[in-house]
Amino acid sequence: MNRIILSSILAAFAVAHAQEEAETNAAFGGQSGPDMSIEAMEPTAEPVSVGRAGEDPANIARYLLASGAGEVQYSPDGESLAFSWSITGEPQLWIMQAEGGQPRRLTFGAGVSFFRWSPDGSRLVYGADNDGDEQPAFYSISADGSEERLVLPAAEGGFRNFGDFAGDDIVYASTERNGLDFDIWRASLDGEAELIFEGEFAFYPHAVSPNARQVILTESVGEDSDNLHLLDLESGKLKMLSEPDPRANHGDAGFEWAPDGSGFYFATNRDREYPALSFHEVESGNSRVIAEPGAAIGDLALCGANDGFLAWTENRNGFHSLVIRSLDSGDSLEPPRLPEGVYGIDCAEKADRLAVSINGWRTPGDIYTVDLADGETARVFASNLAGLDPERLIRPESISIEARDGVELQGLLYIPDSQSLASDAPAPVVFDVHGGPTGQSQASWSPSMQYLLDRGIAVFQPNVRGSTGFGRTYVTLDDREKRLDSIRDLVDMLAHFKEDPRIDADRAAVRGGSYGGYMVNAVLAEYPDAFTAGVSLFGVADWVAALEVASPALKASDRIEYGDITEQRWRDFYTQNSPISKAGQIKVPVLYSHGAMDPRVDIAETEVMVKALRSNDIEAPFVRLPNEGHGWRKLENRLFYFRREADFLREKLAENNSAQRTDPSNE
């Protein structure tokens, strides 16, 4: 039988199988378990060698062992810092003195998904789920770690989103009422919970007013956009503050209430391309602009014992900068000297201190503090590079590429240094595609990519149309029918490197996770002659099935981003344009992986691609992780998986495996 005809038959069978499975799952209100009949690699207790420090690293393990702090929060009195840290294998909660010193570990259970100080600073509330299923229980722990109790047990179908403290209580969103819609709840730390507001799709709570009577809510109307509301916690009445058309974002940078409760600070791109830092007056209902930086705003904090400073971060092409402004004078402070990367900020409520967490291209997670009175800056927590030479870590360069239709695209390019290149020949390249789709590749720590650079492989992190950080219009350019335009961007970007003497564009692999995994599946199917190999982590194969069984948080935004899958026109569109429908066109080997506990993308999405490719005699190794969800949180699983990924990419991009392919610019 003709190979193309056979491939089409197999792909059609795979689509039918996926749709039948989705209908079965929907009928039972859940996702499928893993198909154990599919041959897959699973983690085993195997020896791990990291090599001696200072030598040429033997494998990727040393890079993965480098670690640093994640989110950081000041205690209300400014005396302590709480932060997440994965040094023990998965994220746990740690605490240290604000001036530095030895951190103390507070939590010892499942990985922590969030944490928050109580208003009096005596304890913290945190969440932890079951192996990444994103259905957390809430706990309370004293600041000295001596007393811990369960606040809310995990609820079946109970996806939760923590908001803020309201006095001694907590406010949060949860789907436990019907397993679909996010409602707003209030609970005491003794576990007595009360439903305040019944939502539809996704309402998320943020900052609670100083008098504990009102909470700011955002209502998702797409992955990049929301409506803004104010909810009265006593009456349950909802007040609309902003419902922009065309849609816009209000909540990405967070919210900060003025101490007198007269209003709050936030950032919004309503009626503009880039966000304006703004203040909303509750009584008048008006908002005034404080600053328009002409860049994305990443984080926001109201600082100082008298709330006299406003701090925020600005993101330009994936590199962050910090701005601190006096609210009294309107003047900006001299910015502190900080390492490059992605910044998170938090302020002490009763002290003139600002904490900055930094995740950068050679900084897995440092914590700096800034004294707002005199500008003195100190590093109080340093990343552990596990013996890696920081001078050998590669800084990305921001490059612009024009797509064939004239849209200006952007990406971060990492080029191996001379010590890593075996010859003067151009380097092969891995396209590392971010998830989202409304995400952005930024200058953050990526151990697996830095390892590839040390092995002489270039890395390019594309921000195709639909990415955030480049204005409101750019993020909408892949909506609905325009989705395949962003797939084509990858091919146009690869064609650009045909003219770059540093890059061997004939040896190019594409890898990505989540939506990035879909991008891998799609570009290999739509443009089968472009890339040498693919690596797809927990990506979508069939949009019809994926949108039907998506988790509640995704369903809330999918209507805008992808269209309403209950409408026949969108079912027809995605039946035709999902990767599984064209899987028979894929010609190159693809490494697949998925967590069995994934609540966002069903493991069946990966399984159906593996079956289709293997049936077509295309190499499709599969890594299945039984105790992971949407991404790998456990160190033992990261070590197991990334060693396989690194070996796969090095093998497929070796010079003796290169082959002549069609110039993608002619596709």
Sheet of 296-303, strands arranged across: 296-303, 309-316, 319-326
**pLDDT for residue 6:** 31
Of 185, 178, 142, residue with least CA distance to 163 = 185
pLDDT of 14 strictly over 70:
no
Alpha-carbon torsion 225, 231, 237, 241, what sign? negative
pLDDT of 267 strictly over 50:
yes
Instruction: Please name every residue paired with 219 in a beta bridge, in sequence order, or none if there are none.
Output: 203, 227
User: How many CB atoms neighbour CB 235 within 10 A?
Assistant: 10
Give buried/exposed letters for 107-122 (b at 16+ CB in 10 A, else e). beebbbbbbbbbbebe
Q: Output the six-digit token pair for 105.
A: 């570990």
Whether residue 173 contacts residue 221, with contact meaning beta carbons closer than 8 Å, is answered with no
**pLDDT for residue 32:** 64
pLDDT of 165 strictly over 70:
yes
**pLDDT for residue 421:** 87
**pLDDT for residue 2:** 36
Query: 3-62+388-658: CATH homologous superfamily?
Result: Alpha/Beta hydrolase fold, catalytic domain (3.40.50.1820)
* Bigger pLDDT: 415 vs 665: 415
Q: Output the six-digit token pair for 60.
A: 């990727």
Q: Output the six-digit token pair for 422.
A: 């075996």
Can you state the angle between helices 3-27 and 604-615, rounded to 10 degrees? 160
Across residues 628-642, what is the average pLDDT? 91
User: Read out DSSP for 54-93?
Assistant: TSPPSSTHHHHH-B-EEEEEE-TTSSEEEEEE-TTSS-EE
Whether residue 66 contacts residue 382, with contact meaning beta carbons closer than 8 Å, is answered with no
**pLDDT for residue 553:** 60
pLDDT of 589 strictly over 90:
yes
Q: Output the six-digit token pair for 529.
A: 């002659």
User: How many CB atoms neighbour CB 636 within 10 A?
Assistant: 17
Q: Output the six-digit token pair for 379.
A: 């590093």
pLDDT digits (tens, 9 = 90+) for 211-233: 999 999 999 887 788 999 999 99
State which amino acid sits at residue 639.
Answer: L
Number of H helices, E strands in the chain: 11, 35
Task: Provide the percentage of residues in the chain whose pLDDT is more than 70.
Answer: 91
Cα gap 147→197, rounded to integer Å: 32
Q: Is 137 helix (H, G, I), strand (E, B) or coil?
A: strand
pLDDT of 596 strictly over 80:
yes
Q: Which residue has the tokens 């009294």?
A: 328
Across residues 169-177, what is the average pLDDT? 96
Q: Are strands 256-257 and 309-316 parallel, antiparallel or unpaired?
A: unpaired
CA dihedral defined by 246, 556, 483, 412, rounded to 10 degrees? 90
Predicted TM-score (pTM) of the model is: 0.90
Instruction: Please name every residue paired with 217 in a beta bridge, in sequence order, or none if there are none.
Output: 205, 229
User: How many CB atoms neighbour CB 435 within 10 A?
Assistant: 20
Write the CA distances from 391 to 54, 337, 396, integer angstroms.
12, 19, 14
- Which range has the worst mean pLDDT, 282-296, 504-518, 565-579, 649-663? 649-663
User: How many CB atoms neighbour CB 506 within 10 A?
Assistant: 17
Q: Output the six-digit token pair for 656.
A: 């003796």
**pLDDT for residue 171:** 98
**pLDDT for residue 224:** 83
> Please, how many CA atoms are within 13 Å of residue 551, restricted to the half-sphere of its CB?
22
Across residues 635-662, what is the average pLDDT? 81
**H/E stretch holding 553:** helix 552-562
DSSP class of residue 603 equals T
Write the CA distances from 224 to 232, 470, 472, 476, 483, integer angstroms.
26, 12, 9, 9, 15
Cα gap 429→80, rounded to integer Å: 44
Q: What are phi and psi of 133, to 5 degrees?
A: -80, -5
Parse the chain into domains and list their residue ranges.
3-62+388-658
pLDDT of 59 strictly over 70:
yes
**pLDDT for residue 544:** 86
Sorted by sequence, the CB contacts under 8 Å of residue 409 that are 6+ apart come out as 400, 401, 402, 403, 462, 463, 464, 465, 489, 492, 493
Task: Provide the percentage of residues in the chain whose pLDDT is more than 90.
Answer: 71
pLDDT digits (tens, 9 = 90+) for 561-581: 777 778 888 889 888 889 999
Average of per-residue pLDDT values in the chain: 89
Q: Output the six-digit token pair for 325.
A: 């402004």
**H/E stretch holding 326:** strand 319-326
pLDDT digits (tens, 9 = 90+) for 327-381: 888 888 988 999 999 999 999 988 889 999 999 999 999 999 999 988 899 999 9
Return the percent helix, strand and coil in the chain, to nearest 5: 20, 35, 45
- Which range has the worst mean pLDDT, 482-486, 558-562, 640-644? 558-562
Q: What are phi and psi of 101, to 5 degrees?
A: 120, -170
Whether residue 364 contacts residue 383, with contact meaning beta carbons closer than 8 Å, is answered with yes
pLDDT of 556 strictly over 80:
no
Q: Output the six-digit token pair for 396.
A: 């990305």
Instruction: Please name every residue paired with 326 in a beta bridge, in sequence order, or none if there are none.
Output: 309
| Per-residue pLDDT band at 415 (split at 50, 70, 90) | very high
